[in-house]
Amino acid sequence: MTPALETIGLQKRFGGLTATDNVSFRLEKGARHALIGPNGAGKTTFINLLTGVIPPTSGRILLEGADITRLCPELRVQRGLARTFQINQLFPAMTPLETLGLAVSERKGSGRDWWRVFGSDREIVDEVVGIAQRFRLADVLDERTSNLPYGKQRLLEIAVAFACEPRVLLLDEPAAGVPEAERHELLATVAALPRDVSVLLIEHDMDLVFSFAERISVLVNGGLFTEGTVDEIAADPRVRAVYLGESVDE
Amino acid sequence: MQDKPFMSSLTTDEVATSLRRKGRWGLGEVLFWLAAAATLFFLPERHLILNEIAIIGLFAVSLDLILGYAGIVSLGHAAFFGVGAYVAGIFAKEMTGDPLTGLAVAGVAAALLGFATSFLVLRGADLTRLMVTLGVALVAGEIANQASWLTGGADGLQGIMMGPLLGMFEFDIFGTTAYAYSLVVLFVLFVVARRIVHSPFGLSLRSIRDNSLRARAVGIPVNRRLVAIYTISAAYAGIAGGLLAQTTQFVSLDVLAFHRSADVLLVLVIGGVGYLYGGLIGAVIFKVLQDILSSMTPQYWQFWIGLILVVLVLAGRERLTERARFLAGRLFGRSAGAPRTAPAREGRP
């Protein structure tokens, strides 16, 4: 079966530094896959390569078998590759309603529509409400985003990406900075993502990784160190040495 | 897909209404345009200055489309205004004196220049854009100066003869036809601009302004959107310039001067950025103040406008209008307040 997302010999060098070193990675369809690694392992660079923020030095990226290596970021999104950001990237002055509506209408190709009033398309509104319910944002749809509690903003961050109707969703530390009281809601929502979306989770939080992921890849010094099921990785003494050992005292 | 176990506090109907409400005409807006139309009949001796106000208002709306909605700062918007003015003037002299045809040609010419130079403002931050737009306006000004065989150079473009509007209404010396013409053009273009900013396209512009990284991440082709709005804005400015050339039947190098670009920025700051009426209200305040102050002592005009600018920017226009809106709300009840709240972002003068 064609994987949802695949990289072949992906490499990125910044001068003398190899930030991504010959990574050949497969994300299967419907996967719940986590990418872990110590700080500076190149996780962010890898995400930026996948989403097209920076071009690779060499290697290829395939989205459902189609080569997207040279595609610009917005076209990758249109092809079904969406991401969330480790630090919220939202529109503070807009409401969640407008934010989600924007993403949905872009996807439906009405973003160029300059004549119809935003919100007059019933189909788009229906979809926005559906997404808001799924991400527990229905009660704050009309609030200014900057006034939302941080946990809700994190949910919106994921909801916007979801509104792009991705086939592959990259979650970059979705729980980062969320206070304990709001954490449960976030984790439950992430766990409830539909199975037709393949998810790659980049995470530091081992509780979240072990509760969510089915497979784990470990990135060390820019290269894929090992990959396996949750149990295999948890039992792997080398992984403990390079990664888990460090994170215990975090 | 799984079912939705969460309670929704907003129904789809409410959401749709809430979204559409922003696109609906408010009472304040209707009153505003009724008042503008009334000046056609009740202030006949003021039509010359009202004509100027309408033109500056249109120019400010044009700048607001890129500055307030797309976040593109410009110190050279006069380039499009001036090109529109010269094209309309030359077209009337060389081709035909029909105002509407000339105006369309002026708009298209400015749009072409806007499209061509839009690629220069795509890259870079605010400072780069300020310099690039300033540079384009300086270049345009110098070309108009040198090409005196076409533009009249420093003497200005003279001998423009305008035909009657729609073949019926001659331009009169009191400026009544001129003002009615400018006001109708302003209104039509304003309605179009209003549609644009409330459309999905307009929302995508605001999203680019607020966070272009995220805008790209939801699949918005940022550069294409910016090119589009820059071109539209240039066309608007060109039409404003064309109106000036046609209604005054004269074009001088002044239309491309730096102070034109600076004045329109001032007008927008006075009236409010990111809020279409801001340009119109700003134009009224600016022109009326200029009229009153400079008739008292010409040199004091600069002093007062400078002072007002400093106060506006330091005290924050938001706070001042908020207070005014609050007072208006108490006086007239809530619905008679300003048409809608300005989504202006903080920290931008």
For the segment A16-46, what is each residue's pLDDT rounded down to a tens digit?
888 888 899 999 998 999 998 888 788 888 9
The CA-atom distances, in angstroms, between A219 and each of A27, A223, B4 are 15, 6, 36
- What is the distance in angstroms between the Cα of B120 and the nearest Cα belonging to chain A? 20
**Per-residue confidence at A138, pLDDT binned at 50, 70, 90?**
confident
When pLDDT is averaged across residues A124-147 and rounded to a whole number, the result is 88
Residue with the two structure tokens 């409830």 = A192
When pLDDT is averaged across residues B1-29 and rounded to a whole number, the result is 66
Residue from the list B15, B201, B217 with its beta carbon closest to the beta carbon of A129 = B15
- What is the distance in angstroms between the Cα of B218 and the nearest Cα belonging to chain A? 6
pLDDT, position B230: 96
Quick check: B22 pLDDT over 80? no
pLDDT, position B7: 42
pLDDT, position B344: 40
When pLDDT is averaged across residues A113-132 and rounded to a whole number, the result is 81
Tens-digit pLDDT profile for residues B198-250 = 888 999 999 999 998 899 999 899 999 999 999 999 999 999 999 999 999 99
Residues 174-233 of A with CB under 8 A from B: 192, 194
Size of interface A-B (CB pairs under 8 A): 158
Measured distance CA(B114)–CA(B247) in Å, rounded: 24
Measured distance CA(A1)–CA(B223) in Å, rounded: 36
Torsional sign, CA A155, A158, A162, A164: positive
When pLDDT is averaged across residues A113-131 and rounded to a whole number, the result is 80
Long-range contacts formed by A9-14: CB under 8 A, 24+ apart: A9/A58, A9/A59, A9/A60, A10/A46, A10/A49, A10/A56, A10/A58, A10/A59, A10/A60, A10/A61, A11/A56, A11/A57, A11/A58, A11/A59, A12/A45, A12/A49, A12/A54, A12/A56, A12/A57, A12/A222, A13/A57
Tens-digit pLDDT profile for residues B65-76 = 999 999 999 999
Measured distance CA(B91)–CA(B241) in Å, rounded: 13
Type of residue at B265: L
Quick check: B319 pLDDT over 70? no
Give the distance between the most distant pair of CA atoms in chain A. Answer: 61
**Per-residue confidence at A245, pLDDT binned at 50, 70, 90?**
low
Q: How many domains does chain A have?
A: 1
Backbone angles phi, psi at B74, to 5 degrees: -140, 135
Ramachandran area for residue B5 (φ above 0: left; ψ -120 to 50: alpha; else beta): alpha
Residue from the list B4, B202, B220 with its beta carbon closest to the beta carbon of A133 = B4
Quick check: B93 pLDDT over 50? yes
pLDDT, position B8: 44
pLDDT, position B345: 40
Percent of chain A with pLDDT over 70: 96
Under an 8 A CB cutoff, do B220 and A194 touch? no
Q: CATH number for the domain including A29?
A: 3.40.50.300
Tens-digit pLDDT profile for residues B126-154 = 899 999 999 999 999 999 999 888 888 88
For residues A119 and A101, the answer to whether their CB atoms sit within 8 Å is yes
For residues A216 and A227, the answer to whether their CB atoms sit within 8 Å is yes
Tens-digit pLDDT profile for residues A50-104 = 999 889 999 999 999 899 998 988 899 999 999 999 888 999 989 998 899 899 9
Interface test with chain B among A53, A54, A74, by most B beta carbons within 10 Å: A74
**CATH fold for domain B41-283:** ABC transporter involved in vitamin B12 uptake, BtuC (1.10.3470)
Percent of chain B with pLDDT over 70: 88
Nearest to B184 by CA among B99, B98, B70: B99
Measured distance CA(A27)–CA(A200) in Å, rounded: 7
Quick check: A249 pLDDT over 60? no
Q: Chain B contact for A111, CB < 8 A?
A: yes
Residue from the list B18, B199, B217 with its beta carbon closest to the beta carbon of A89 = B217
Measured distance CA(B217)–CA(A84) in Å, rounded: 8
When pLDDT is averaged across residues B164-179 and rounded to a whole number, the result is 83
Provide the pairing of β-strand A66-67 with A81-83: unpaired
Backbone angles phi, psi at A9, to 5 degrees: 55, 40
Under an 8 A CB cutoff, do B8 and A132 touch? yes
pLDDT, position B69: 93
For residues A207 and A224, the answer to whether their CB atoms sit within 8 Å is no
Residues 160-189 of B with CB under 8 A from A: none
**Per-residue confidence at A225, pLDDT binned at 50, 70, 90?**
confident
Q: Chain A contact for B131, CB < 8 A?
A: no
Residue with the two structure tokens 């209008």 = B321
Quick check: B327 pLDDT over 80? no
Instruction: List CB contacts (< 8 A) between B18 and chain A.
Output: 97, 119, 141-142
Instruction: List CB contacts (< 8 A) between A98 and chain B.
Output: 19, 203
pLDDT, position B4: 41
pLDDT, position B333: 56
Measured distance CA(A189)–CA(A193) in Å, rounded: 7
Please give the residue range of the domain that contains residue A200: 5-247
- What is the distance in angstroms between the Cα of B71 and the nearest Cα belonging to chain A? 14
Secondary structure string (H, E, C) spanning chain A: CCCCEEEEEEEEEECCEEEEEEEEEEECCCCEEEEECCCCCCHHHHHHHHHCCCCCCEEEEEECCEECCCCCHHHHHHHCEEECCCCCCCCCCCCHHHHHHHHHHHHCCCCCCCCCCCCCCHHHHHHHHHHHHHCCCHHHCCCCHHHCCHHHHHHHHHHHHHHCCCCEEEEECCCCCCCHHHHHHHHHHHHCCCCCCEEEEECCCHHHHHHHCCEEEEEECCEEEEEEEHHHHHHCHHHHHHHHHHHCCC
Q: Chain A contact for B200, CB < 8 A?
A: yes
Quick check: B77 pLDDT over 90? yes
Measured distance CA(B125)–CA(A27) in Å, rounded: 37
pLDDT, position B153: 81
pLDDT, position B46: 87
Q: Nearest chain B Cα to A100, which residue?
A: B218
Instruction: List CB contacts (< 8 A) between A118 and chain B.
Output: 19, 22-23, 198-200, 202-203
